[in-house]
Amino acid sequence: MQRMTTQAEWAARAKAVLPAGGFGNFDPSMFIREGRGSRVWDEDGNEYVDYLIGSGPMLLGHGHPEVLEAVLEQLPKGQTFFANNALGVELAEDIVNAMPCGEQLRYVSSGGEADMYAMRLARAFTGRDKIVKFEGGYHGMSAEAQMSLAPVKQVNFPQAIPDSAGIPQSVADEMLIAPFNDPDYIRSLLAEYEGQVAGIIVEPLQRIIPPEPGFLQLLREEADKYGIVLIFDEVVTGFRFAYGGAQELYGVTPDLCTLGKVIGGGFPLAAIVGRADIMAHFDKAVVGADGWLMQLGTLSGNPVAAIAGIKSLEILRREGQYEKLRGFGHQVQDMIRKALDPVGIGYRIVGDPTLFEIVFTDAKPRTYRDVLAGDAGAGKAWNDTLRAHGIFKSPGKTYPSLALTDADMEMTSHAISQAANAVAQLG
């Protein structure tokens, strides 16, 4: 029998061909062999309850039988065509009908692409150059998005700090950085740059930080006041917070939103969705050569991803799905409180029951800097212990899925108890 290749052996092979030994996404020492339902297994055979779920896409769990059936039916008919296909149109109809801002849609292959094009659309539509983003907000890997994503150095707003080499200063000059959840600052910023701002891009839930009551509505009002395109980055929250995304949950409708993750059912697919008059800039016949935004992609709207998305959204429309998802989130949050409250160390559960994390702090985090100020040592002990006891998750997010079971909850409860003990020992 051939000996199984271990994770350590795979890591050595990866270092020879991959910069930093990985894909750039997650801990490069981890090699996931397979996933089924709510569980994943690594190349050493270790089994985990999966709260990473591909960083969000696998809301239904791994290998959902109905999604697999739909995909397997499509595969013999063709994987991609670089041409319109009926499945892509059908999925677009579902998405546009679901999103409050939805009138038209354009496909891309990743959420980062969608965010990049959304910002470019705002510039094309308004004829302005500057974009407002919020410190700590994640919008992919474009040059604009890599401004003040995770700055260690804290500078005065609205100065933009690049998080990557290779970005020209000219990009930073067109980005205005604001603190999340600060109504007074955003009002003064937009007044100061009146007539210059093309768009405001924001995660309705910034990573894990919820908007303060009225903050998103303020952005809507200020965008209307100054003729600015309001963009909700719903790559994470779309079809997770509610069927109509965070814009449905919070009751604020943007001009554009970006979607990814869930809409592809585990396959590469993303989209820009929004008002028809703004989306018209993708149509040269409508806006002319000077107003046209060129966009194409080899895999945009490919039928395999489209059918996986269609089936995933069909399942999510069934009665009780979001109540079930939020119920799992509440269960895990209750386990955390039960385990950590007696420890006597300050902590906050930050986020939404469908997406949250622990920040070890006494104060309620309202901004990126508040989260950054949390106890990193306690956070590391917490996450390391969870993984050692069979919980697979990001160091910064916990993603419940609809595939979770009673057995998963028992395993999660035990791991959380052990993690609380590890944090207690730090005190």
Active site (catalytic) residues: 138, 233, 261
Q: How far apart are CA 274 and CA 296, in angstroms?
A: 18
Q: Which two tokens stand for residue 423?
A: 């944090």
Q: How far apart are CA 121 and CA 189, in angstroms?
A: 22
DSSP state of 352: E
CA distances from 426 to 318, 343, 344, 372, 377 (A): 45, 10, 11, 19, 8
Q: Which two tokens stand for residue 104?
A: 């038209």
Q: How far apart are CA 379 and CA 370, in angstroms?
A: 14
Neighbours of 77 (CB within 10 A): 11
User: Identity (one letter) of the amino acid at 89?
Assistant: V
CA distances from 272 to 54, 128, 231, 343 (A): 21, 20, 10, 45
Which are the contacts of 50, defined by CB distance < 8 A and separation ≥ 6? 35, 38, 39, 40, 58, 62, 392, 401
- Look-up: residue for tokens 């009146």? 194
Neighbours of 168 (CB within 10 A): 9
CA 160 distance to own-chain centroid: 22
Q: Which helix (H) or strand (E) holds 37?
A: none
Q: How far apart are CA 222 and CA 242, in angstroms?
A: 25
CA atoms within 13 A on the CB side of 99: 33
Name the CA dihedral angle for 84, 85, 90, 95, rounded to a multiple of 10 degrees: -50
Neighbours of 300 (CB within 10 A): 20
